[in-house]
Chains A and B, each alone.
Chain A
């Protein structure tokens, strides 16, 4: 029972009073500001870390986007080059084709013209030859038929030709 005898009401009273005063003062002026500051700081650090992480991810995304775009561009360029080449080739071949056709046509035309001209020339020549021979024949006839003897001789000769034919 010495323990109870030693129990000092006064000390108990002062301890409770002073401790409560200390508790309320510290709560207001120390613990709340300290804990808030620490919590804020930690939240700030957490935020900064997550932001950095996000930024890194974004960078990665950007990079991969860039790569993708580059790849696409390259593919497009290749496709364009290929197209151009094809177009070029078709154009060349078409041109060739056309030229050939044109040439053939021209040649054909030239040939027909030549043929026509030739025919015309031949016809003309024939006509002229016919005219000439008629004229010659007329002159010869006139000359031949100027006397009777000659006319008879001619007739006879002609007759004789006919017989020969």
Chain B
């Protein structure tokens, strides 16, 4: 119980610190500042093409360097076309007589002129087709998946080929695998059942870690800072926790006091306790998804804001200062990348541990 409370406190603190840094840049003043802010906003979102960088040439044209990606829409049938048709939101894409326009990084169905209708709150009222596009984030997920697959497959093979001793890059990753086994899985889940959860824990750890690190590269992808990605990850933790839950796990939720109290004493308490416990089932994975999302998002915002400051200061004192700060923060972000992966894995293991626990009731009865 003590441990649960501390972990929740830490989670709350992490959340708070994340949001304070989120609130930092809310001052769109001056042309450069708003441009930078827009750039950061743009970066934080997923995009329909794999842009590496963009620049404005001498003729004043905006040039993008990168590759277009396939857009897949479900709008009365499957519509697949290249994102190059959007010309980065500048033109309307026409597919099978339907017109689509990119507006604020979302695809809307429009008429041939690409008119976007707004309601009184300045929100577009156009229809948004179901969007299964292979975005930049999806591409990064694919690349990370392939990288992980070949990396760990070769590690697995090197054991057979090299007499149970890892070779090459595996030498670096093997201790991490062992750390997850010995210091995350076994202490939280227990010697008996940890093997069942290990594949998920390892996959989720390396997946988050690699994507966090990729987010810090100049590729500038913000996959783990995307709420959809973290939701998907946390949802899996949620499903695994509750589908592998033992009788004791459910008993702990619906009968937390057990035999220590007569039923007429438990009833008034349970009116409060059981809803809290049931809420807890959902809050636990929800805290996972928000924590990862907010931390990565905030890290990117802070880092890019500091880099943006260089262009705002444009002085011999301010710019190097913000460069130094950006450098320091990016070092911290490398640590955070690992830390967030660790926290997600650690807490998942903790929840699996709750789900897998089996009290020895017989022994307990004797102890009382």
Contacts and interface: CB of A to CB of B under 8 A. Distances in A.
Contacts of B227: 3, 6-7
Contact of B137 (A6, A11, A16, A35): A11
A44 B195 CA distance: 19
Contacts of A6: 45, 226-227
Interface string A20-32: 1111011101111
Contacts of A31: 152, 198-199, 202-203
B253 interface: no
B238 to A, nearest CB: 12
How would you classify the secondary structure of chain B's contact residues: helix, strand, loop or mixed? helix
A87 interface: no
A152 B193 CA distance: 162
Interface residues of B, number: 45
B24 interface: no
Nearest to A14: B138
Given A11-B229, A15-B141, A35 B203 contact: no
A8 B46 contact: yes
A16 B232 contact: yes
Interface in A45-70: none
A14 B198 contact: no
- Interface residue tally of chain A, by bracket? 20 to 34
A15 B232 contact: yes
A18 B141 contact: yes
A25 B149 contact: yes
Contacts of A23: 199-200, 203
A11 B198 contact: no
Nearest to A37: B159
Interface string B225-253: 01111011101100000000000000000
Nearest to A45: B164
A62 B169 CA distance: 47
A160 interface: no
B153 interface: yes
B348 interface: no
A13 B236 contact: no
A34 B203 CA distance: 13
Nearest to A27: B199
A109 to B, nearest CB: 98
B164 A41 contact: yes
A31 B165 CA distance: 15
Given A19-B207, A27-B199, 12 more contacts: A6-B227, A7-B228, A9-B132, A10-B131, A14-B138, A15-B233, A26-B202, A27-B203, A29-B152, A37-B164, A40-B164, A41-B164
16 contacts: A3-B227, A6-B45, A9-B132, A10-B132, A13-B132, A15-B138, A15-B232, A16-B232, A18-B138, A19-B233, A19-B236, A21-B145, A33-B160, A35-B177, A38-B178, A41-B165
Interface of A: 3, 6-16, 18-23, 25-27, 29-35, 37-38, 40-41, 44
Interface of B: 45-46, 72, 130-135, 137-138, 141-142, 145, 148-149, 152-153, 155-157, 159-160, 164-165, 174, 177-178, 181, 195, 198-200, 202-203, 207, 226-229, 231-233, 235-236
Nearest 10 pairs between A and B by C-beta?
A: A30-B152, A37-B159, A33-B156, A27-B199, A12-B228, A15-B232, A11-B228, A41-B164, A22-B145, A31-B199
